[in-house]
Amino acid sequence: MRRQRRVASAQRERTRRSRETSEETRQRRRAVAERYHTRGRSFAAQTGGARTNAQPDEHYGGQMNVACESCGAKHFKSESKDKRTFNDCCNHGSISLRHFNNYPVELCRLLASQEIEAKEFREHIRNYNSAFAFASMGAQLDTPCSQGPYCFRIHGQIYHRIGPVLPEDGQPHRYGQVYILDTSMAAEERMGNPANSSCNPRLIPSLGELLHQINIYAQAYKMLHEVAVEEELCAAREGRPAKAVRMVFETPANVDRRRYNAPTANEVAAIYVGNDGDVPAEHSLAVHLRGGGLQTIRVIDSECDPLTYPILFPRGELGWRPNMLKNPSDRRRTRITQKEYYSSMIAARNYFNPFHFAGKLHQQYLVDSYIKFEQNRLNYDRTHQAELRVDSYRGLADYVTGDNDITRPPGVR
């Protein structure tokens, strides 16, 4: 009988809650929280505990339904204050980025669907992303010991590296090296990697075929391999050693730096056959056919995001790069900063944004992005000491390092 009463009571409570308005729901939750905190304070007082139970005031920002008139980004009602445009999403209309307009339907399904296959994909999304990445991301992970929600946390710096197109003798294909293989062999290589053991054997071939078809960097790797094979055949016919073949990544000159235009493989990568002197010196990221070691991708390279996150940028959309210009060029600050770029990218709008469905991979991307623009700021401080007037701080430095006679003003010997 007692169990039946509990079941009936639970059913009545579910029915009552289903008829609540949003205001009634907030009031009920507030009352439950107050009862919980009251019990906690009572327990602490009775046990003589030294802990405090000071609770912050509740803040409710209203519904997230106020759209920026410039870019459509959604904001909470308390953020608006009668404003029509916002600074955090588009800098009041001066930043216009158009990504994810043609995001693949299959990836949309895996990110947003409630099917079992899609849920498993999201659970292991970082493994899938690593399986299809062209470049590796190295970091010292710091996994929290608690049993709470997943948290991506690192110690120290993050490094992005890319290797040669062909592996060493006896070594398996990894990262971008897999893209020179046909889709069936590429799937076998990926599933043979122990790090991908949690991935679905059915999804690996289908996603691999999708990226081979639409990703401009996958097409660039295939192009490099074809040029290398052709050069080796020519060298064999002519009785000479084969020339070195390299692929150099470059930002297309005709890409609008404020709006996304889809470049092609020929535009984002140039193939050079010959001596090292043939490669333009201003390019920093070059992939060798053999050898050459690992190349470090700089935090200001526009290829960093698409090479590292193919699940988020499946078509190879270029990321942030220096000299991206804001729309009104007559402003005092005409360039889009990394912080402004990433803030605009992750804003919630009416169109599909894979970041908001990527879960663990979204956390990794946010941490990675934050470290990028922090490192870029530090690099600026390190290389612009003269402009920052560091010499004017010499008196303070002398005081800190030992000239700290308290009878004199700081900085005076």
State the DSSP H helix or E strand holding residue 92, giving kind and residue range, or none if neither: none
Q: Is the pLDDT of residue 240 over 50?
A: yes
% of the chain beyond a pLDDT of 70: 83
Q: Which of these ranges, 236-245, 277-286, 303-312, 357-366, has the smallest mean pLDDT?
A: 277-286
Domain ranges in the chain are 105-383
More confident residue, 300 or 52: 300
CB 175 within 8 Å of CB 164: no
Confidence of residue 312 (pLDDT cuts 50, 70, 90): very high
Q: Is the pLDDT of residue 3 over 80?
A: no
Q: Which of these ranges, 42-56, 67-81, 114-128, 263-277, has the smallest mean pLDDT?
A: 42-56
Hey, which residues does 15 pair with through a beta bridge? none
Q: Is the pLDDT of residue 250 over 80?
A: no
Alpha carbon distances (Å) from 107 to 78, 121, 207: 34, 10, 8
Q: Which of these ranges, 96-110, 238-252, 367-381, 393-407, has the smallest mean pLDDT?
A: 393-407
Q: Using CA atoms, how far apart are residues 150 and 360, in angstroms rounded to an integer?
A: 7
Determine the angle formed by the axes of helices 203-214 and 216-238, rounding to 10 degrees: 70
Q: Using CA atoms, how far apart are residues 327 and 97, in angstroms rounded to an integer?
A: 11
**Mean pLDDT across 241-246:** 83
Backbone CA torsion sign across 239, 290, 295, 199: positive
Q: What is the pTM of this model?
A: 0.76
CB 231 within 8 Å of CB 273: yes
- Output 200-205 pairs: Cβ under 8 A, ≥24 positions apart: 200/117, 200/120, 200/121, 202/117, 203/110, 203/117, 203/121, 203/128, 204/131
Confidence of residue 259 (pLDDT cuts 50, 70, 90): very low
More confident residue, 219 or 268: 219
pLDDT of residue 127: 93
More confident residue, 259 or 75: 75
pLDDT of residue 405: 57
CB 324 within 8 Å of CB 258: yes
Phi and psi torsions of 80, nearest 5°: -70, -55
Using DSSP's 3-state secondary structure scheme, residue 157 falls into: strand
Q: Is the pLDDT of residue 277 over 70?
A: no
Determine the angle formed by the axes of helices 360-383 and 125-132, rounding to 10 degrees: 60
pLDDT of residue 119: 94
pLDDT of residue 258: 43
Q: What is the pLDDT of residues 185-235, one digit of tens each?
A: 888 888 888 888 899 999 999 999 999 999 999 998 888 888 888 888 888
Confidence of residue 257 (pLDDT cuts 50, 70, 90): very low
Task: Specify the amino acid at residue 185.
Answer: M
Give the count of alpha carbons within 13 A of 275, CB side only.
1
Q: Using CA atoms, how far apart are residues 220 and 180, in angstroms rounded to an integer?
A: 9
Cβ atoms within 10 Å of 374's Cβ, excluding its own? 13
Confidence of residue 408 (pLDDT cuts 50, 70, 90): low
Q: Please state the three-class secondary structure of 71-138 as a single string.
A: CCCEECHHHHCCCCCCHHHHCCCCCCCCCCCCCCHHHHHHHHCCCHHHHHHHHCHHHHHHHHCCCEEE
Hey, which residues does 138 pair with through a beta bridge? 159
Average predicted confidence (pLDDT) for the chain: 81
